[in-house]
Every structure is written in structure tokens, then in C-alpha cells.
Amino acid sequence: MPKRLVFVDVDGTLVGKDGVPPCVWPKVEALRGKGVRFALITGRPGRGETLGYARRLDPSGLHVFESGAVVLALSQDVHAPPATPLKVEALPEREAKEAVHLARKLGLPLEGYTAEGGFYVEGDSPLLQAHQALLGLRAEEADLLRLPSPLVRLQVLAGPEAPLGALLEGLPSGLQAHLAESPKMPGVRFVSLTKEGVGKLSAARFVAEAYGLSLEEAAMVGDGENDLELIRAVGLGVAMGNAPEEVKRAAKRVVAPVEACGLAEALDLLG
């Protein structure tokens, strides 16, 4: 059965260490011309450069941000908002506070994100600065326990020596951890925390249903541990050549790494 909806991860799938390989966009445009819908699906916030990727993939489509906590509908209508939240899953307040206290105790760089696009950090770790450069966004330094609106996601940036095990073991129930990496920040693990049950799979199911489709009619191209459950759930799960072995084993097809036009190769499977 032809796949009518394609979910595309960002870091390590769409974006490599040198950005988006130019081979990708002609393949996207060709499939859109055949009626295929695209949905960006990422842990990143729906702002700045990342929102630009979503617009280029599908300028009037539905896209997933904040590790599944936010789904935005884009519009080309000059009389409508450029992006409208269709789904927002806030973190439970008590559990979010516990997670903030835990990250502080462990000395881990911490970011907070709100549904309105707010991007906040605690401290001035070089990892936090590097991540802002990667996103093309400037964060506001703030007490994450005293923000003006509810958090939808917390994110810890864990370097090679970080006590990642202690963080994961100490997380309160009610939160779900999603681990990811970026070729632009090698050696760093990004630990996104969302409400329990919220992730790429739950958001992808929402998007597919909004289009009147099942996940069997969709494809997913990804490279990370946080892509695993969705790669398994769709009709065609594709792993990038730079993905961990566990992700490759779960996929129906494995393509070249991101820098070698792997995403373009994956899209050829749908043509």
C-alpha cells in the first residue's frame, strides 16, 4: 500500500553536521506533488530554524514538536495565524518540580519549554550555550519553578561524564524520558521529559487520525532511540545508516547515513 503520510525526524535524519543535505528537498517536493503529506516530528521546539524546516516539508501541514507534547497546524492563509496549536500536553506540576529539583541536585544543565514557544534555561553551562546556537534561538534565563505559563517539556543536556543513570532512576512517575542525540553536538545526550504517555508515537497517531489515515498508511524515517516505537508502529519504518543497531533492527528498511543522502534514499522508497 502506498504511504500517504511521512514522518521525518530532525537531528541525524533531516539535519546532519552540515545542515540539511541539498539532495533532500527535490525528493520532498516530488512526493508532495503526488499528494503525500509530510510531518516533522522532533524533540525541538516549534520555533526558529526548526519551524522553517517544517514549513519547507509541508507548508500547510501538521507538525510535531517538543517530543510529542505539541502539535502545530501551519497555514499559508494570510488571514490566519501562521501556526496554531492543535494538541498541547502540559507536564504535571508536582512531577515537573521534582524533576527540576533532581536535575539541580545532580548539577545537570536544564532547559524548560512552554506551549507558547517559551524557551528557558537555568545557569550558563557551555552545553546550554551550544544548544541555543544549534537551534538558532536565544533562551531566557529563569527559575524553572516560577515560569509565567505551564511547562510542556523539560530537557537535560548530559555530557559524557554526566550522571545520566542517576537522573533516569530518580525521575518521578508521571514523566516519560526520551533520549536523543544530534550530530551537531557529538557526545551529548538530550533527555526530554514529557507527561507520561506523551511521545512521538502518541502525537503521530493524532496527526494520522487528523488526516483520516492509520499509521499503517504512514512511514517514519528516524535515527534515534526516541524514534524506535514509531518506527515499529508505522507501515514502513526506515532507519538511517547512522542509527544505533537497536533502531536498525526494528526498521523494515535501512538507508545511508544522513550525510550520504540517506533521507533522500528513504523517500525514493515511497516514489
Domain boundaries, the chain: 5-88+198-268, 93-195
pTM, full prediction: 0.92
The yes-or-no verdict on residue 1 having pLDDT over 60 is no
Instruction: Report the pLDDT averaged over residues 121-128.
Output: 93
pLDDT at 271: 72
Match domain 5-88+198-268 to its CATH number in 3.40.50.1000, 3.90.100.10, 3.90.550.10, 3.40.50.720: 3.40.50.1000
- % of the chain with per-residue pLDDT over 70: 98
Task: Quote the percentage of the chain above a pLDDT of 90.
Answer: 91
pLDDT for the residue numbered 78: 62
> pLDDT tens across 16-46, in order?
999 999 999 999 999 999 999 999 999 999 9
Question: What's the CATH code, domain 93-195?
Answer: 3.30.1240.10
First to last CA, the chain: 12
Tell me what pLDDT residue 79 has: 60
Q: Do domains 5-88+198-268 and 93-195 have the same CATH topology?
A: no
Q: Averaged over 217-233, what is the pLDDT?
A: 96
| Rounded mean pLDDT, 72-93 | 87
Confidence bin at 80 (pLDDT 50/70/90)? low
pLDDT tens-digit series, residues 240-262? 999 999 999 999 999 999 999 99
| Interval 127-165: pLDDT, tens | 999 999 999 999 999 999 999 899 999 999 999 999 999
The reported pLDDT for the residue numbered 76 is: 82
For 184-206, what is each residue's pLDDT tens digit? 999 999 999 999 999 999 999 99
Confidence label for 2 from pLDDT (cuts 50, 70 and 90): low
Label each residue of the chain as H, E or C: CCCCEEEECCECCCEECCECCCCHHHHHHHHHHCCCEEEEECCCCCCHHHHHHHHHHCCCCEEEEHHHCEEEEECCCCCCCCEEEEEECCCCHHHHHHHHHHHHHHCCCEEEEECCCCEEEECCCHHHHHHHHHHCCCCEECCCCCCCCCEEEEEEEECCCCCHHHHHHHCCCCEEEEEECCCCCCCCEEEEEEECCCCHHHHHHHHHHHCCCCHHHEEEEECCHHHHHHHHHCCEEEECCCCCHHHHHHCCEECCCHHHCHHHHHHHCCC
Tell me, what's the pLDDT at 83? Answer: 85
